[in-house]
Amino acid sequence: MQIFGFLGGFLGYILWGIFYVIQNFGLSIVLFTLIIKLLLFPFSIKQQKSMAGTARLSKKQQAIREQYANNSQKAQEELNKLYEKEGVKPMGGCLTTIIPLIVILGVFYAVAYPLTNTLHLNSDSVQQAINYVNTIPGYVTNANPTYQQVSLLNVFPNIVNTDTIQGLFSSSEIAQIQMFENGFSTFGVDLLAIPSDYGFLSGYIIFPVLCFLSNVGSQIIMQKINGNQMNQQMGCMKVMLFALPLFSAYIAYTVPAAVAFYWIISALLSLVQSIVLGKVFSPANLTANSEARHVALLYQNEAAVPYVYAPHELPEASNNASNTKSSKKKKK
């Protein structure tokens, strides 16, 4: 977890730089997430190519598995030959998936731990402030340690003048925290609020709802783009299509809206990215490109063969010549 905290601290400088200019945390999250997506775009292209390449070979893969159903070793050998022939690397998308995942977790740590990873305040001072808030009747930070810093920001205006807070942070740090806290209001919505504190009938319920819809929509579109094989998958995989977004929606209901807002923006940008990459690098396009390259290679190979001119008489000319000779012999 330390590596994600370190990465979150590094990315936090970018988030703080954006916020310092815009003075609005919601808009900063949008721009920050967009920048991260652009930085990871080359990895997304490689991942999409790998997924689409595997999808376009699904019928051939199935045929090989059926042909060598009783010989798994032979089936794997034939599959490897198929991948080599088609220029597809089934495991090629693993690294391009792991690296963005690590970065995304770092982004999450920058958002979830804003005081230590974005403002880069002393972690001991921040933790003492959290402990202090929990001792005040009527004030409590989030039970989940991951979101206690965001909760501390929520109550900070009410405790800023206490001796404890004044002793933990310098005047410049307090001014920095106050500026940061004021920027969490986006279009009249307090991103420090926790939806569960306001109930299902409040406007904050939109955060878990959008979190669920954006995640489900992203998964469904990804499956359609890459040749929807949902019907061929096990039932448990179909359940996961909705189980994970439901779990994300529940978490979004119980954490500060700022964290849920980041999830929503990230999911929506991923959705747009999937649609664009899916059209450009679809299985059909990759198949057409593969066939075009194959035809071009044939022409290239033919052009590389030297042309040798070998003159010879046409069959009709040869027959006429032999007939002429035979007629001359008869005359003699």
Mean pLDDT score, 310-320: 54
- How many Cα atoms occupy the beta-carbon half-sphere of 316 within 13 Å? 0
Predicted confidence at residue 306, as pLDDT, reads 64
Query: Tokens at residue 288, please?
Result: 């057409």
- Range of lowest pLDDT (1-10, 114-123, 192-201, 301-310): 301-310
Mean pLDDT for all residues in the chain: 78
Task: Supply the pLDDT for residue 24.
Answer: 92
CB 148 within 8 A of CB 142: yes
The long-range contacts involving 139-144, CB below 8 angstroms and separated by at least 24 positions, are 142/194, 142/255, 142/256, 144/254, 144/255
Mean pLDDT of 160-172: 94
> CA geometry: angle at 33 spanning 30 and 37, to 5°?
135
pLDDT in tens, 66-78: 888 888 888 888 8
Question: What single-letter amino acid sits at 74?
Answer: K
| Two structure tokens written together for 235 | 């039932």
pLDDT in tens, 225-234: 655 444 444 4
Please check the confidence at residue 182 and state whether its pLDDT lies above 60: yes
Determine the Cα–Cα distance for residues 286 and 277; give it in Å rounded to an integer: 12
Provide the whole-model pTM. Answer: 0.69
Residue 116 gets which letter from DSSP? Answer: I
For residue 173, name the pLDDT band (cuts at 50, 70, 90).
very high
Sign of CA dihedral 154, 210, 189, 196: negative
Domain residue ranges of the chain, discontinuous segments joined by +? 2-285
What crossing angle do the helices spanning 2-22 and 25-39 adopt, rounded to 10°? Answer: 120
- Tell me whether residue 121 is exposed, middle or buried, using C-beta atoms within 10 angstroms of its C-beta: 0 to 12, 13 to 18, 19 or more: buried
* Residue 199 contacts residue 256 (beta carbons within 8 Å): no
